[in-house]
Amino acid sequence: MDRSTLQTHSPWLLPIILLAGTGVAVWPSLQVLFSRWQKFDESYSHGFLVLIVCVALSVRKWWIVRPVNGFYPAWLFPLALAAAVYLAGSILLVEAFQQIAMVPLFLGLLLLIWGWRQASAFFLPVGLFIFAIPVWDYLSWPLQLITVAVNQLLLSALGINFTVEGVFVYFPGVGAFEIAHGCSGLRYLLVGLTIATIYAELSYHRLTERVILLIAAALLAMVANWIRVFVIIYVGYESNMTSSLIWEHDYFGWWVFAGTLVPLFVLARYLEHRHVPTAEKSAGTAATESSGGLKAWMSLVPALAFVTLAWAVESSKAAGDYQGSGRHGFELLPSEQWLPLFQGSLGGWQPAIQQPDLESSGVFVERDELQSGQAQPEYYVGLFTYNQQRPGSEVVQYANRLYDADMLIPQQTFAVPAGGDTTLNGLALKYRQSESRVYLAYGYYVESFWQADELRAKLAQLPGIFNNRSDASLLVIGVRCDACDGKASLERLAPLVRERVESRLDERFGAAGTN
């Protein structure tokens, strides 16, 4: 059977070969996605369902449109651009570049063999995949701040006495709430947009209705999260932090989200009847676009080139991956002044950091204070370094936690001067089962610059394209005592630790702009 016969009797074969080949090329990135989709407490646990729906909607659209394969060389440049972005992300270890480029890669191949008029019908079924790609994490911090602002307005309207610092809401004499990553509403936003996109694909044929429904879905998803967070905070305040809703609020959140779907589907139904849909493009119309069956197979050449380049890059990365020694080779605190203790935590507290290349941590007491005979404060210092940020090994990721929320609750945030122009974040934590407190100072040292918050630390990875540094570290300093001033203790220790850590990391990885 020659290629023209295949084109006539198996028009689906070429697009499947192209898409499968691209899937092989981006397989390392897909593996990262699959691992994220299996974490059901994160914002992308709907990923496998989205993938199934994408395939089903694409098959449905193909059956309706019946596109005829051709070769449209005008789309080689956009396809090459998407491939370049993906390969750049692979070489520079910028995972966001790889993830963002995947959807344009798949759509570029369809444009190459079907042209605009035929391939445009598949933009929404294939583009739905974007809601399962973890590039949306960059929205988490802004969404947290918006949620804090909305709840600040609602609590003020009720005349409740409270203060707000960053993403923390404090009630004097009651406790504090942290509007953390999971409270940003990102999960509801992505699920809402996914549902609206699927409904629009199945019911609408005009762009206007689709845009209106997506905007409504985004707004209602955010409203659902605002209501959820407000109810939890208010119930916690009224119950003096004893309500079970505070600790078991996931199911409650989904019930609130389900409630906001009612007005969404009412609007969707109204938009559906507002405009009479036109008939979809027929197979005959599509056939007039074809530029020749045999030429269509020329699209295999750029696809094969991309697969070869992608796997060549991955092979070189695998051969050159740096294997860390496991521990930093220097003392976090000078031994002549500080005595290490044979324990790894402060009363059960220690940060949970996933798969750093290098780490050093310990609990210390000051030698001079041991002679006083009184109970001495204990200090924790931890440095966690990723030589190269890469999938599953990033200084800012959902699995990296400063504290266990089941054991400790935040009480206050503050700034900790650390010498020079550097200021670390300060956080006071209280044990749930006692009145004991732990005071923390922490900061991110990414590619020779200190960063104050997670979003800046995440974005600071990008300048590594130009300065040849790709390292990122988290520095955590903690103090636990019954009688001392925790903030003052951190302010005294932070400049010493920061200076030692900064100089040693610059010595190991080079100053900015060098290697």
Per-residue pLDDT at 218 exceeds 60:
yes
Which tens digits make up the pLDDT trace of 372-393?
Answer: 556 678 899 999 998 877 666 7
Q: What is the pTM of this model?
A: 0.75
Confidence of residue 515 (pLDDT cuts 50, 70, 90): very low
- Count Cβ atoms below 10 Å from residue 13 Cβ, excluding itself: 13
Pairing mode of beta strands 472-480, 437-446: antiparallel
Helix (H, G, I), strand (E, B) or coil at 275: coil
If residue 296 lies in a helix (H) or strand (E), which one and from where to where? helix 293-296
Amino acid at 507: E
pLDDT for 443 equals 92
CA atoms within 13 A on the CB side of 444: 22
Instruction: Express as a percent the part of the chain with pLDDT over 70.
Output: 84
Average pLDDT (99-112) is: 90
d(CA 233, CA 353): 28
pLDDT for 476 equals 94
Answer whether 452's CB lies under 8 Å from 416's CB.
no
pLDDT for 213 equals 94
Answer whether 197's CB lies under 8 Å from 214's CB.
yes
Range in 143-152, 267-276, 315-324 with the lowest mean pLDDT:
315-324
pLDDT for 81 equals 92
Which tens digits make up the pLDDT trace of 190-212?
Answer: 999 999 999 998 888 888 999 99
d(CA 225, CA 192): 12
- Count Cβ atoms below 10 Å from residue 56 Cβ, excluding itself: 12
Answer whether 198's CB lies under 8 Å from 57's CB.
yes
pLDDT for 116 equals 92
Which tens digits make up the pLDDT trace of 314-355?
Answer: 665 554 444 555 888 788 888 888 888 887 888 788 898 888
d(CA 484, CA 436): 12
- Any idea which residue has 């598949």 for tokens? 122
Helix (H, G, I), strand (E, B) or coil at 62: helix
d(CA 151, CA 189): 18
pLDDT for 478 equals 92
Task: Quote the Cα angle for 23-25-27, to 5°.
Answer: 60
Confidence of residue 282 (pLDDT cuts 50, 70, 90): very low
Instruction: Express as a percent the part of the chain with pLDDT over 90.
Output: 26
Answer whether 441's CB lies under 8 Å from 416's CB.
yes
Chain mean pLDDT for the chain: 82
The string over 381-411, giving b where at least 16 C-beta atoms fall within 10 Å of a residue's C-beta and e elsewhere, is bbbbbbbbbbbebbbbbbebebbeeeebbbb
Looking at per-residue pLDDT, the higher value among 248 and 387 belongs to 387
The two tokens of residue 151 are 């709840």
Confidence of residue 222 (pLDDT cuts 50, 70, 90): very high
Average pLDDT (250-276) is: 85
Looking at per-residue pLDDT, the higher value among 166 and 133 belongs to 133
Q: What DSSP designation does 336 have?
A: T
Answer whether 47's CB lies under 8 Å from 123's CB.
no
Taking alpha carbons only, the member of 18, 75, 78, 202 closest to residue 128 is 202
Looking at per-residue pLDDT, the higher value among 509 and 375 belongs to 509
d(CA 125, CA 200): 10
**Edge-first strand listing for the sheet containing 175-178:** 163-165, 168-171, 175-178
pLDDT for 336 equals 83
Looking at per-residue pLDDT, the higher value among 313 and 173 belongs to 173
d(CA 415, CA 474): 16
d(CA 226, CA 146): 9
Answer whether 473's CB lies under 8 Å from 383's CB.
yes
Confidence of residue 514 (pLDDT cuts 50, 70, 90): very low
Average pLDDT (59-79) is: 89
Per-residue pLDDT at 287 exceeds 50:
no
The two tokens of residue 360 are 């050093």
Per-residue pLDDT at 158 exceeds 80:
yes
